[in-house]
Amino acid sequence: MTREMRILAVEDDDGVRSILTRIFESAEISARVVGSISEFRTFLAQEDASICIVDIGLPDGDGLSLVSELRSAGGRGVLILTGRGSELDQVLGLEMGADDYIVKPFRQRELLARIKAVARRLDIGAGIPSDTASTQSQLSMHGYSVDLNARTVCTPDGEEANLTTAEFDVLAVLLAHRGEPISRDDILAKIKGKSWHASSRGIDGLVSRLRKKLPVKQHVGDLIKTLHGVGYMLTPERSN
């Protein structure tokens, strides 16, 4: 059953808080924008949120630690919205489990598209068409079942794998290019758009996490092959 989208954002800049509030109001999204971690915790204790948006630099604590805490609790989407655009910050944010990392200044349409991508994964709110979508929505690989429309991956044992939005996006691109190599830059362009300014090293971290979360038979090696100097490719399946 589809859950209601409720957003809780923490941002210490007054101007950005006003912009976020206007964006959510114009999109008719139920949201609350607060200015500190203490306010964030107070609101979350009173009323739950399905998607949390977190700035890294906050006056009363570390935004990355808050991201890790929210991810550990599970059940919510987590996006980082920050002025820190360094490669290290972006890699750390994704490794902490953020679904996405958005660097200021941002565009309204970009922010809403990223939110909707997280909402699709969590079955909250309406989805949007994706560049990584395939004409076939039900796919399989090494015993795993992948539903591109529902954005779910089921293990060979029938359990649902707990992938973040960014992890699923990378997997969907690799599936769309099954049997052929694809570079880090091309993966980035397909999942984020050519205007995304993140380093391709963030893709390395997402691939590493996919390998850990989706293990395959020992004789196969890893789910995703590294092609040095080229990029990545899904490991071909052996016929019996």
152-167 residue pLDDT tens: 899 988 888 988 888 8
Residue 23 has pLDDT above 80, yes or no: yes
The residue from 78, 95, 122 where one domain ends is: 122
pLDDT for 134: 39
Residue 24's contacts (CB-CB under 8 Å, 6 or more residues apart) are: 7, 30, 31, 33
For residue 91, the domain's CATH number is 3.40.50.2300
pLDDT for 128: 35
Higher pLDDT, residue 79 or 71 = 79
Cβ proximity of 117 and 130 under 8 Å:
yes
DSSP 87-129: HHHHHHHHHTT-SEEEESS--HHHHHHHHHHHHHHHTBS----
The residue from 61, 88, 122 where one domain ends is: 122
pLDDT for 135: 42
Query: 1 lies in a domain?
Result: no
The verdict on 68 and 10 lying in the same domain is yes
The verdict on 46 and 154 lying in the same domain is no
Confidence of residue 104 (pLDDT cuts 50, 70, 90): confident
Which residues span the domain enclosing 174? 138-234
The verdict on 99 and 195 lying in the same domain is no
The verdict on 105 and 11 lying in the same domain is yes
Helix (H) or strand (E) holding 167: helix 165-176
Distances (CA, A) of 214 to 37, 100, 143, 147, 159: 34, 20, 10, 15, 12
CA angle at 111 for the pair 109 and 116, rounded to the nearest 5°: 90
The verdict on 115 and 21 lying in the same domain is yes
For residue 157, the domain's CATH number is 1.10.10.10
pLDDT for 239: 52
Question: For the residues 206-226, what does the mean pLDDT come to?
Answer: 87
Name which of 85, 50, 90, 86 is nearest 70 in CA terms: 50
The residue from 122, 156, 176 where one domain ends is: 122
How far apart are the C-alpha atoms of 228 and 206, rounded to whole Å? Answer: 17
Sign of torsion over alpha carbons 81, 87, 90, 92: negative
Highest mean predicted confidence (pLDDT) among 103-107, 193-197, 212-216: 212-216
Q: Is 196 exposed, middle or buried (0-12, 13-18, 19+ CB in 10 A)?
A: middle
Residue 158: Cβ within 10 Å count: 7
Cβ proximity of 4 and 30 under 8 Å:
yes
- SS3 state of residue 32: strand
| Mean pLDDT of the residues in the chain | 84
Query: 11 lies in a domain?
Result: yes
pLDDT for 63: 92
